[in-house]
A and B are shown apart, each in its own frame.
Chain A
Amino acid sequence: MKLLPLIIRNAFRNRRRTILTILSIGMSLFLISTLKTLLESLASPPMTPESAKRVVTRHQTSLANVMPIAYRERIRSVPGVEEVVANQWFGGVYKDPSFFFAQFAVDAEKFFDVYGEAKVQSPEQKEAFVKERTAALAGVKLAERFGWKVGDRVTLEGTIFPFNVETIIRGLVDGGGSEATYYFHYDYFNELFNNPNIVGTFAVKAKSSDDLPAISEAIDQMFQNSTAPTKTETESAFILGFASMWGDVQTLVLSISTIVLFTIVLVAANTMAMSIRERTGEIAILKTLGFAPGTVLSMMVIESLVIAATGGLAGSLGARFLFGSVDMQMMSGGFIQAFTVTWTTVAMSFGIAFIVAIASTAVPAWNASRVPIAEAIRRRGE
């Protein structure tokens, strides 16, 4: 396109206006990219090959109800099950309630068999954790945040449970979400609680992900008529259950995005209209020189696209960069595991810019082209 230099020159004719428009569109697309990424991270928890083989068993009525720990052996006997661990949410306070992070009492020995993606720093750490009743594993990000080292004593004050838990960190873990979590022994927890032998959830690992539906059925059938009937679902369904507690957030976010979108088009349209109105005379000259009306129109659309696309890419790439360098997991206390602005989102921003370009240029360009050449040239002084 030989005309590209002319188009770009035209775009930056009024530098201040163009830059402000780019900034305005940039901020709006930054917002849309962020909201879209937020929706994505709530709607699809990160899946690893390991997590695809796991189901979570809890009391059928509510997560707040408990099951007997004895269920563990019976679940293990279900065909297709490779391993089961008890997983008890502790929900304690470390120094201050605002330092919130996830804490679980787990079956130490088999923990890594079920959560294969969690990696300790050395086999010695793993052994030390399994051997000692009061041992604990801390996520590497937690250790960084609180300045913990292996060998440190950590006390968690009980809120849900009427006792405090005193542990010694024997290892640091990373991977699959464990980097922001604190783990200690289920047996120790049970003892401190005076041996009620109950647990909130079981994490079950299947030999193959194909067996998940069958295993879930089998487990729930097994305990159907007992004092604590169960509900077993895939790990991602379980996590999604929490997201659904937020209610109509999705609708809210979508409505806001729509409004923002509409505002962008408005802003871009305003700018283009001003720009084109100033140039009615020049458009007339171009037509006199022999440029077809179609060419003149596409020049204006491309000019608008250059501005909108620059803004759009700046906004979405800016979002990608910003959230790439900030640790969202730590900032949200573990609620949000991954917050990456995908290339799809960036591409979407480009797409929006394209639509904005066309929508905003249409009317002013149409108006400008309808003015007869002679009158347009006379109007040059405007």
Chain B
Amino acid sequence: MIPVKYNLRSVIVRRVGTVMTVVGVALTVAVFVSILAMVQGIESVFIDTGEALNLLVIRQGSQSETNSFFDREIKGIIESMDGVKSVSGEIIILINQARSTSGATNIIVRGISDKSMELRPTIKLVDGRMFRPGLREVVISKTLSGRFVDTRLGDKIKIGRTAWDIVGIVDASGTAYDSEIWGDYNEVSQEFDRPIYSSMLIRVADEASIQSVKDRVANDRRIKLDVFTERQYFETQTGTSAPIKFLGYTIAIIMAIGSCFAVMNTMYAATAYRTREIATLRVLGFKRRNILISFMFESLLLAILGGIVGCILALPVNGISTGTANLTTFSEVVFQFRITPGLMLQGVVFAAIMGTIGGFLPARLAARTLIVRALRTEV
């Protein structure tokens, strides 16, 4: 085995080439990691939402709360079922609101009951106060507040045809509820003249009841509802990230291929300069195999170094809050870029792959150098 010191020294001596390659790989990895962080951010909104003992019901076939509507009397039927502890009937309305920057999109307004907060213990009031039933008041999620026009504490926001007071800010800890505005059910349904429920959130008594209640709802012909555990319902919305994922991976792969060519270029140049060194190593008794491994190790080293630098470059992106379209509910979903150690590892592995592919052919060429011809070279 050719000592690693040789590779380390060569890399330091040929400083300019090394820096250029490392920076090139670093930039590619930085873009890759940022895109992964974005996808991770969107998906984790949906995976983290939901209590273990909560079930969500919506109209059969509607696929999301926004499309769903059903009779309020059905609540009574569900409440009387065995294993059901409490039921919250809610209504979803979409409003179109301008962003503070540019453009506009839909936001979910949820008319909630007195049980709603109880069934969602992760949601906490962090500023102001809760709205009072019977008044046109709302609370808004912390991440929505400020990103849209008229959404700060104390502002009046137009919902339907009235201006509602924003009296409180809530924090839903990065779950899907962080993209919503909450008001009193009666007020919301009256404003839009919709005496129906969009969905009901059910708390069951214990784990064993989950399946039995689900079965009972599914089998009851009167009610025609689809039932999910709260977690399941939100998990199915991860499809929202599909187009962004597709775009992201495509960009990353194209950049990676470009980087591979760049790494190859550098390594070919490196081998060309070091023909005499390689010949000397061969004369000293190192086999072709050793040369191949040594040069591949060197390109791997540069690539992994580039990968680490790239991850560090991407770090500032972590925690940036932004919003995009939730394709299932046709409204805004707020998420944060999330870089995890696992993600950074993926970035470094990505770089290593680039280094391996880019370094292979040059290393093979180096190993194939004919000793005699090499010793005669002037370079």
- The interface of chain A, by Cβ under 8 A from chain B, is 16-17, 20-21, 23-25, 27-28, 30-31, 34-35, 38, 61-65, 157-160, 162, 227, 229, 241, 243-249, 252, 256, 259-260, 262-263, 266-267, 269-271, 273-274, 335, 381-382
Measured between alpha carbons, how far is A159 from B27 in the docked complex, in Å? 44
CB distance from B197 to the nearest CB of A (A): 14
Residue from the list B61, B93, B101, B102 in contact with A158, Cβ < 8 A: B61
CB of B28 within 8 A of CB of A162, answer: no
Question: Contacts A244-B104, A270-B21 given: A20-B268 contact, CB under 8 Å?
Answer: yes
Interface flags for B28-57 (1: CB within 8 Å of A; 0: not) read 101100000010000000000000000000
Q: Is B251 an interface residue (CB 8 A)?
A: yes
User: Are the C-beta atoms of A270 and B324 separated by less than 8 Å?
Assistant: no
State whether B251 touches A162 (Cβ < 8 A).
no
Looking at B81-89, B182-190, B257-265, the stretch in contact with chain A turns out to be B257-265
Q: Are A241 and B104 neighbours in the complex by a CB distance under 8 Å?
A: yes
B255 near A: Cβ within 8 Å?
Answer: yes
| Beta-carbon contact of A381 and B268 below 8 Å | no
Check A20/B261 contact, CB under 8 A, given A245-B106, A246-B325.
Answer: yes
| Chain A residues, CB < 8 A from B93 | 62, 64
Give the chain A neighbours of B247 by CB distance below 8 A. 38
B60 on the interface (CB 8 Å rule)? yes
Mask: chain B, 172-212; 1 = CB below 8 Å from A; 0 = not: 00000000000000000000110000000000000000000
A382: chain B residues within 8 A (beta carbon)? 379
Q: Say yes or no: A266-B20 contact (C-beta < 8 A), given A247-B323, A381-B378.
A: yes
Chain A contacts for B265, CB-based, 8 A: 17, 20-21, 24, 267, 270-271
A27-B257, A244-B99 known; 9 other A-B pairs, CB under 8 Å? A21-B261, A23-B258, A24-B258, A27-B261, A162-B62, A247-B99, A266-B27, A270-B266, A381-B378
Residues in B neighbouring A31, C-beta threshold 8 A: 251, 254-255, 258
Q: Among the listed A20, A61, A246, which residue makes an inter-chain contact with B324, where contact means beta carbons less than 8 Å apart?
A: A246
User: A95–B161 Cα gap in the complex (Å)?
Assistant: 40
Q: Contact at A249–B324, with CB atoms within 8 Å? A: yes
The answer on a CB contact under 8 Å between B27 and A263 is: yes
Supply 6 A–B pairs (Cβ within 8 Å), ascending by A: A159-B61, A245-B324, A248-B101, A252-B38, A262-B27, A381-B379
**Least Cβ–Cβ distance between A194 and chain B, in angstroms:** 14
**In chain B between 48 and 78, which residues have their CB closer than 8 angstroms to a CB of chain A?**
59-63, 66-67
| Neighbouring B residues of A25 by C-beta, 8 Å | 258
> Which residues of A lie under 8 Å from residue B3 when comparing CB positions?
none
Task: Indicate if B322 sits at the interface (CB-CB under 8 A).
Answer: yes
Beyond A63-B106, A241-B104, A382-B379, is A263–B258 a contact (Cβ under 8 Å)? yes
The answer to whether B16 has its CB under 8 Å from any CB of chain A is yes
Interface string of B1-24 (1 = CB under 8 A from A): 000000000000000110011011
Size category, B interface: 35 or more
Q: Which of B30, B62, B106 contacts A259 (CB 8 A)?
A: B30
**Are B62's CB and A244's CB within 8 A?**
no
Question: Residues of B at under 8 Å CB distance from A?
Answer: 16-17, 20-21, 23-24, 27-28, 30-31, 38, 59-63, 66-67, 93-96, 99, 101-106, 160-161, 192-193, 243, 247, 251, 254-255, 257-259, 261-262, 264-266, 268-269, 322-325, 330, 332, 378-379
Judging by beta carbons under 8 Å apart, are A30 and B106 in contact?
A: no
Which 10 residue pairs of A and B lie closest in terms of their CB atoms, listed nearest first? A244-B103, A27-B258, A24-B261, A245-B325, A270-B20, A64-B94, A247-B324, A245-B105, A20-B265, A160-B67
B96 and A27 within 8 A (CB): no
By a CB distance below 8 angstroms, the chain A residues around B105 are 244-245, 247
A159–B69 Cα distance when bound, in Å, is 12
Chain B: CB-nearest residue to A30: B254
CB closest residue in chain B, given A267: B262
Partner of B63, one of A16, A63, A159, A381: A159
Chain B residues within an 8 Å CB radius of A38:
247
Nearest neighbor of B265 in chain A, beta-carbon distance: A20
A247/B67 in contact, CB under 8 A: no
Cβ distance B178 to chain A, nearest Cβ, rounded Å: 15
Q: Which of A34, A159, A229, A263 contacts B67 (CB 8 A)?
A: A159
A270 CA / B18 CA spacing, docked (Å): 10
For residue B66, which residue of chain A has the nearest CB?
A: A64
* Cα–Cα distance between A382 and B160 once the two chains are bound (Å): 78
Known contacts A24-B262, A247-B322, A256-B31; A267/B24 CB under 8 A: yes
Chain A residue numbers with a CB within 8 Å of B104 are 241, 244
B245 to nearest A CB, angstroms?
A: 13
> Chain A residue with minimal CB distance to B102?
A244
In the bound complex, do residue A227 and residue B193 qualify as a contact, i.e. CB atoms below 8 Å apart?
A: yes
**A266 / chain B contacts, CB cutoff of 8 Å:** 20, 23-24, 27
Query: B254, A274: Cβ atoms under 8 Å?
Result: no
Closest to A249 in B: B324
Min CB–CB distance A248 → chain B (angstroms):
5
Given known pairs A17-B265, A245-B106, A269-B20, the reply for A61 and B160 (CB within 8 Å) is yes
Given contacts A263-B258, A271-B265, contact A64 B20 (CB under 8 A): no
Q: Who on chain A is nearest to B224 by CB?
A: A162
Cross-interface CB contact of B161 among A229, A247, A259, cutoff 8 Å: A229
- Cβ-closest chain A residue relative to B107: A62
Neighbouring A residues of B322 by C-beta, 8 Å: 247-248
Given contacts A162-B61, A274-B17, contact A259 B261 (CB under 8 A): no
A130 to chain B, nearest CB (A): 30
Give the distance to chain A from B190, nearest Cβ to Cβ, in Å: 13
What residues of B have a CB within 8 angstroms of the CB of A256 in the complex?
Answer: 31, 251
Closest residue of chain B to A35, judged by CB? B251
Q: How far is the CA of A244 from the CA of B103 in the complex (A)?
A: 5
Cβ of B102: which chain A residues have Cβ within 8 Å of it?
244
In the complex, which residues of chain B have a beta carbon less than 8 angstroms from the beta carbon of A246? 324-325
